[in-house]
Amino acid sequence: MPSKEEEKSCIYYIETPDILAFFGYKKPMALLLRVPAAVSFSCKASAAKTTKSAPNFPVATASASMNAANSNRKLPVLLFDIMDTVVRDPFYGDIPSFFGMSMQELLECKHPTAWMEFEKGMIDEMELYSKFFKDGRPFDMEGLKSCMKKGYQYLDGMKELLDTLKRRNYEMHALTNYPVWYEMIEEKLDISAYLSWTFCSCTIGKRKPDPDLYLEVVRRLQVDPGHCIFIDDRIRNVDAAVEVGMKGVHFKNADLLQKDLARLGVEFDVPKG
């Protein structure tokens, strides 16, 4: 798998699979959505291919009622990863120095699964405190939270981009791996002014790139996956979204994201008046 530096901004065009079975329909329906031909980009040999097609396995498709609902819905629905896509993630830049360690030292001494368990809502903050380090050493939990909150800030251009999309009346949701500390992000940055914290791993109990999480998203939204665009800085999470029929954009920066979304038909010109 290429490193973040080797990964590139990718747009994926796919055919939406037939997934009536996901909603319990027994009779087949002839419904196939197709999207425009793929946009190609030059990339390093080690990077993921720009264009991918979803395999033909069941995910979700629209019923008649869903089609009726979507006829009055602003599409596509935009799904955003949060950390290092919308908001700077302080874990890599600030937390090692908080503990007086290098990043490598921190990775070697922290518990291998405690943070993921915290993200999935399997353990609470007190349990994280007792499990964060393999050896159970104590640390300043409130200081850690303060350090994290101080480091939260919008990535360059993202607040403006979200504002433009909001004024174009696009439906936007967070689809993020993060613990209950997302509330600290909201308290500081007021992200809900632009998108809803609808799909956080801590409230759903699943993490990207688990396919079941993406299927849960389209089920709850009652939307065909082909009408969803998922944006994430990690290519494996984008790949997983594409596998269930969504369109995916590998995030690099706000300027490239706007261009990629425009190629997928997202409108950015805000009508006057």
Evaluate if residue 4 carries a pLDDT over 70. no
Query: For 126-132, what is the mean pLDDT?
Result: 98
* Residue located via tokens 């997928």: 264
Q: Is the pLDDT confidence value at 135 over 60?
A: yes
The CA-CA-CA angle for residues 155, 111, 183, to 5°, reads 40
Amino acid at 199: F
**What confidence category does residue 273 fall into, taking pLDDT thresholds of 50, 70 and 90?**
low
Among the ranges 3-7, 34-38, 253-257, which has the highest mean pLDDT value?
253-257
Could you give the percent of the chain with pLDDT greater than 70?
73
- What percentage of the chain has pLDDT greater than the value 90? 71
| pLDDT mean across residues, the chain | 82
Going by pLDDT thresholds of 50, 70 and 90, the confidence category of residue 269 is: confident
21-35, 131-145, 165-179: the lowest-pLDDT one: 21-35
Please give the pLDDT value at position 63: 46
Place of tokens 């050896």: 135
Instruction: Give me the helix-helix angle, 141-151 and 182-189, nearest 10°.
Output: 50
pLDDT at residue 14 above 80?
no
- For the stretch 181-235, pLDDT in tens is 999 999 999 999 999 999 999 999 999 999 999 999 999 999 999 999 999 999 9
Q: Is the dihedral of CA 144, 145, 147, 153 positive or negative?
A: positive
Among residues 170, 227, 263, the alpha carbon closest in space to that of 14 is found at 227
Per-residue model confidence as pLDDT tens digits over 101-122: 999 999 999 999 999 999 999 9
CB 164 within 8 A of CB 72: no
Q: How far apart are the first and last CA of the chain?
A: 48
Instruction: Judge whether residue 65 has pLDDT over 90.
Output: no
Q: Pick 220 or 34 by higher pLDDT.
A: 220
Q: For the residues 260-268, what does the mean pLDDT come to?
A: 96
Task: State pLDDT tens for residues 153-188.
Answer: 999 999 999 999 999 999 999 999 999 999 999 999
What pLDDT, on a 0 to 100 scale, did the predictor assign at position 271? 59
pTM tops 0.85, yes or no: no
Please tell me the distance from the alpha carbon of residue 13 to that of residue 247, in angstroms, as a whole number. 6
